[in-house]
Every structure is written in C-alpha cells, then in structure tokens.
C-alpha cells in the first residue's frame, strides 16, 4: 500500500471521532497486520472500490472504547454492545469512508460509494475484499484502543 | 430568524443517526420533529403530515435521499419544501448532483451543532 494513503485515514478518523464524540484519539505508529483477528470487539468494514486502486478498510473498537464513544455521541450511558453501538459503528465507518474518499480524490483517485457492514464478538476476524498487505493504524483513547485496518492496492490487470 | 416551531422531518436509515440529529435540532430550539427511516417512508409521512422542512441522509436502502429529493421536487404539493441533505459524501460530483436535483443546502458528516445551525439559517434567511 502506498504510504501516502495512510495520512488521509489518520486525519479523517481523528476528525470524525472528535467531532462526533468529543474525544481526541492519539494515533500510534502504523504497522503491517500479521494475523486474521481484529484488534477490537466491534468492527465496521467497507469497500473502497476505485478505478486504479481498490480494496477496503475497517475500524475495530475495543468494547470499553466504543461504549464511551457512543455514550458521548448519544448523550446517554450505554453499558453493553447493543443495536445503538452496531448502528453507530456503521455510521462512523461511513463517515470515515466519505472523508477518506474526498481526500484521496484530491490525490487523483476516485472511489465508488459503498455500504458498511458491522461485525461484533470477541476476537472475530476481518476479511478484506482484496488480497494484499493490510496496514494497521492503532489509536488510543482514555477508554482503550481502536484500530484502523487499511488494505488498498493497485488493481491487477485483466489477463 | 428561523421559526423554531416548524415541523421537521428527519430521514436516516440509522436510528442512532436520527437520534443524534434530533438532539442537535433540539439544542437549536426545534421541538417539533418527525422521523422516517428511508425515502419511501418519508414520502408517506409527507403525504399524511404537514412538514415544513426535511433533513435527509443520502445513503439509504429502498429509496436514497437523492431519489427522495427528486420525488419531492416533482410532486405538485411538495415541490417547494426546503430540503437539507446530510451525508458523508464530500466529493464534488455528489454536491453538484444534489444541487442539480434542487437541494436547498448540504451538510457533510461529521458536523457540529454550529454547522447545522449555519446551514439551516441560510435556508430560511
Ligand atoms: Mg445512511
């Protein structure tokens, strides 16, 4: 994955979480994903299908972290992973996707609109829609970490 | 001044997002709020109730916000209703498409209550 693609993810994610939940997440150093399991308990996954570059990205939240984020978003205390949390993770994924696509467009890459899917459960796996290396960007908050997984690669030429 | 007594219809497929938008509208003084989960159910509400202003998501199953906007603009009874589109789509061609279809204003998610207020005030100025 082109390293220039990492910054749009970091910027947009911080923007979305701070605007919606009044939490300033701290981004850590990106690294390459080594196994299938997601870092968190609730994840949103969405396709990033473009003309030259294609793939997907996911955002995976630990339970305590997403409970705090959604409690702040809805201004009510949420103490379990419920429908509100699953909905909110879908919506956060959607917003990050929109922001990232707008930034990648400025870099000359167009992507189609897509619908997110949400996965939950302890140590669930995330399957990206294309093969190729997955880059993880860890973020930390007072209530625990969350992770962005980005998998964006040049389309293989049709044979 | 925008009339805070007007009846607003909030359209979004995610209940969570409807709640967030409603919270923001309430903070801005609006109390009279109805909800719908997609374009199809929004049109049903619009036919039954007197709605003054529509705040709609774009990306929804069954009938998208853009399709809803087009349906409103082509309905004799509804065509003059102001519509504010709320969407995560910040790409230029999306905004151009919505403007062509007759949207009154456009908010990109995520947004703050201040941005929402600005966009609404511009519509009713
Ligand atoms: Mg939606």
Q: B13: domain CATH number?
A: 3.40.50.2300
Domain A3-30+40-154, CATH? 3.40.1550.10
In a domain, B34, yes or no: yes
Q: What is the DSSP letter of B78?
A: T
In a domain, B30, yes or no: yes
Both tokens of residue A90? 């879908």
In a domain, B125, yes or no: no
Both tokens of residue B88? 């995560």
Q: What does the alpha-carbon distance between residue B71 and residue B79 come to, in Å, rounded to a whole number?
A: 8
Of the partner residues B91, B110, B112, the one whose CB lies closest to the CB of residue A95: B110
In a domain, B124, yes or no: no
CB contact under 8 A, A94 and B108: no
CB contact under 8 A, A73 and B59: no
pTM of the model: 0.91
In a domain, B2, yes or no: no
Q: Select from A142, A154, A157 the least CA-distant residue to A69.
A: A142
ipTM for the whole predicted complex goes beyond 0.95: no
Mutate to test the interface with B, among A48, A87, A90, A92 (most CBs of B within 10 A): A87
Mutate to test the interface with B, among A102, A109, A111, A116 (most CBs of B within 10 A): A102
Report the DSSP beta bridge partners of residue B108: B87
Place of tokens 């981004």: A27
In total, the C-beta contacts within 8 angstroms joining chain A to chain B are 57
The tally of domains found in chain B comes to 1
Query: Mind listing the pLDDT tens digit of every residue in chain B (125 residues)?
Result: 688 899 999 999 988 999 999 999 999 999 999 999 999 999 999 999 999 999 999 988 899 999 999 999 999 999 999 999 999 987 788 889 999 999 999 999 999 999 999 999 999 98
CB contact under 8 A, B16 and A98: no
| Residue range(s) defining the domain that contains residue B24 | 8-118
Q: What does the alpha-carbon distance between residue A54 and residue A56 come to, in Å, rounded to a whole number?
A: 7
From the number of C-beta atoms within 10 Å of its C-beta (0-12, 13-18, 19+), residue B42 rates as buried
What is the bridge-based pairing of β-strands A42-49 and A53-61? Answer: antiparallel
């Amino acid at each position: 994955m082109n390293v220039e693609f990492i910054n749009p993810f970091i910027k947009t994610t911080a923007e979305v979480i701070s605007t919606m939940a009044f939490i300033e997440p701290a981004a850590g150093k990106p690294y390459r994903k080594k196994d299938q399991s997601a870092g968190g308990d609730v994840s949103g996954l969405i396709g990033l299908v473009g003309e030259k570059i294609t793939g997907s990205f996911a955002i995976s939240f630990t339970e305590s972290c997403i409970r705090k984020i959604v409690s702040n978003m809805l201004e009510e205390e949420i103490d379990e992973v419920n429908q509100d949390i699953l909905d909110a993770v879908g919506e956060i994924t959607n917003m990050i996707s929109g922001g990232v696509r707008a930034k990648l467009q400025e870099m000359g890459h167009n992507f189609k609109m897509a619908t997110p899917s949400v996965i939950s459960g302890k140590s669930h796996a995330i399957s990206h829609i294309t093969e190729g290396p997955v880059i993880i960007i860890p973020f930390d908050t007072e209530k625990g970490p969350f992770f962005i997984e980005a998998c964006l690669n040049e389309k293989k030429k049709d044979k | 001044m925008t009339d805070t007594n007007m009846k607003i219809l909030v359209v979004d497929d995610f209940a969570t997002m409807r709640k967030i938008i409603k919270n923001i509208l309430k903070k801005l003084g609006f109390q009279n709020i109805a909800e719908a989960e997609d374009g199809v159910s929004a049109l049903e509400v619009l036919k039954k109730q007197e709605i003054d202003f529509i705040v709609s998501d774009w990306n929804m199953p069954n009938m998208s916000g853009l399709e809803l906007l087009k349906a409103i603009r082509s309905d004799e009874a509804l065509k003059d209703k102001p519509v504010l589109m709320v969407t995560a789509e910040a790409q230029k061609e999306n905004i151009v498409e919505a403007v062509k279809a007759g949207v009154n204003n456009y908010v990109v998610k995520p947004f703050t209550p201040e941005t929402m207020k600005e966009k609404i005030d511009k519509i009713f100025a």
